[in-house]
Chains A and B, each alone.
Chain A
């Protein structure tokens, strides 16, 4: 399989705080890469370098290279909205914007200039189905997104990211606040989605990584300790620290 994203020698600092230390990582197309590691290991910061969301923090310094389909996304003439439409993101806590379900989903497409009502409606149906939410909300698309349950909100956020028609989807601990049932719904959705998209999933939950990931990267203190297939990482980890983490000695 070809590499969708290539990360070379990535370093990231907030002021004097060195958060990511020379990360090299290839993310293949149409796979789910899970990134695991204890809190504060730099997982989320790494994820946010992929759609340049760290840029909004003015103290950030980033060196190294990230290539998306061979294009350096930190090149000067990259338009951020373009990048962020290509690389959709779902956050740890579901944040529906204070507007209706429908309006939440069409927010991105509208900004991109889609105005046709038929096209928007089609998009809403398609993405809600892909996020396994359509049946639950199809009769009340004009209900405020904030009125949904936590699990529904998170699936709405996934649908909203899908509506951008991205190529890559970043998920930042998308199930951290959810009950097991909602979690399994979302994992189901992810499994379907990888046929079309490249997915990067940050998770605190090693079991989740074992369930859904094709490959796993283990982060610790801003370094990538080990990268390998899910099977290899969870059965014969090469690094002692990886083994300690996945067997629950720390984390």
Chain B
């Protein structure tokens, strides 16, 4: 009987290690496929090169990095005011009942497929952008708005949880000293919930950086370093998805190399989020 129990424990340990194994496998395969071209072109040439024309053997992904960065910043600019005010309102001002209904509703919306968001961008947002700002529609602005909306539920939900985790006594203490509710929020609650909210934002950033299908549908996908927010751009993810179907040889390796850059970026974001969350807990 003891023998059997030990066997089960070992089996479960192996199961638990599977996630680590998968992570390693992914890293291994992507590196194996993509590293040769990075070494060939040079890290600097690959990351800072602004010329991407696989047929001629030019592999610089700088425009895609810039595209990703701009779209992500734009998405944050769209998302933060909305998600934070939503979180603060629902956590601090609304009644418990309203919060109990709206929070799950907002979380449910995290489940809308990204292709649907992309589609909404095409049919609803493009005409609006054309009318009010000019251009053809697919551009940084459109992509930023749609991605901003996509990451709304993630950030809002985590921010509400962090605000709710602040002990009730903090609020009572501050209010009893004559602070208004807004002063209490600004000086007591937000600082206390800061680390949780920040890690939520970083998760949102991760989601925006990693989004593929919606971005392909609305960002325009031109390999240029954008001059304005109405220029079409291509993100790292779009670069992979668009060319993977027909890429061979060095070209295919370059796409995997794009994946490496993306992979590293996401792992770094996760480490940051993790560190912030842990520091919050320790405090």
Q: Which residues of A contact B (CB under 8 A)?
A: 79, 81
Contacts and interface: CB of A to CB of B under 8 A. Distances in A.
Interface in B1-36: 1-2
B201 to A, nearest CB: 37
B8 to A, nearest CB: 14
3 contacts: A79-B1, A79-B2, A81-B1
A79 B1 CA distance: 8
A79 B4 CA distance: 12
A82 to B, nearest CB: 9
Interface in B114-169: none
Contacts of B2: 79
A79 B3 CA distance: 11
A130 B57 CA distance: 88
Nearest to B1: A79
Nearest to A82: B1
A-B pairs with lowest CB-CB distance, top 3 = A79-B1, A79-B2, A81-B1
A79 B2 CA distance: 8
A79 B6 CA distance: 13
A203 B2 CA distance: 34
Contacts of A81: 1
A54 to B, nearest CB: 18
Nearest to B2: A79
B9 to A, nearest CB: 13
Nearest to A79: B1
B4 to A, nearest CB: 12
A70 B38 CA distance: 72
A81 B2 CA distance: 10
B5 to A, nearest CB: 10
Contacts of B1: 79, 81
Contacts of A79: 1-2
A76 to B, nearest CB: 10
A164 B221 CA distance: 71
A81 B5 CA distance: 12
Nearest to A77: B2
A78 to B, nearest CB: 10
A56 to B, nearest CB: 13
Nearest to A81: B1
A58 to B, nearest CB: 13
Interface in B176-191: none
A81 B1 CA distance: 10
A227 to B, nearest CB: 35
Nearest to A76: B2
A53 B193 CA distance: 40
B15 to A, nearest CB: 21
B146 to A, nearest CB: 46
A198 B15 CA distance: 44
